[in-house]
Amino acid sequence: MDAAGADELARLPRVGPKLARRIVEERDARGPFGSLEGLRRVSGIGPALLAGLARSAVFSGVPRALAPPAVAPGPFASAPRGGGSGTCGSLPLPLNTASAPELDCLKGVGPALAGRIVADRATRGPYRRVEDLDRVPGIGKRLVERLRPFLRAP
Q: Check which CATH number belongs to the domain holding 117 and give it.
A: 1.10.150.320
Q: For 15-33, how does the pLDDT look when each residue is reduced to its tens digit (9 = 90+)?
A: 999 999 999 998 888 888 8
For 45-103, the pLDDT digits (tens) are 888 888 888 877 877 655 544 434 333 333 333 344 444 444 455 678 899 998 888 89
- Identify whether 23 is part of a domain: yes
Measured CA to CA, the distance from residue 1 to residue 40 in angstroms comes to 13
Q: What pLDDT is stored for residue 89 in this prediction?
A: 57
What is residue 86's predicted lDDT score, i.e. its pLDDT? 43
Are the CB atoms for 59 and 36 separated by under 8 Å? yes
- Total domains present in the chain: 2
Domain region containing 16? 6-53
- Please tell me whether residue 35 adopts helix, strand or coil conformation: coil
Model confidence at 132: pLDDT above 90: yes
Question: Rounded CA gap, 100 and 93, in Å?
Answer: 11
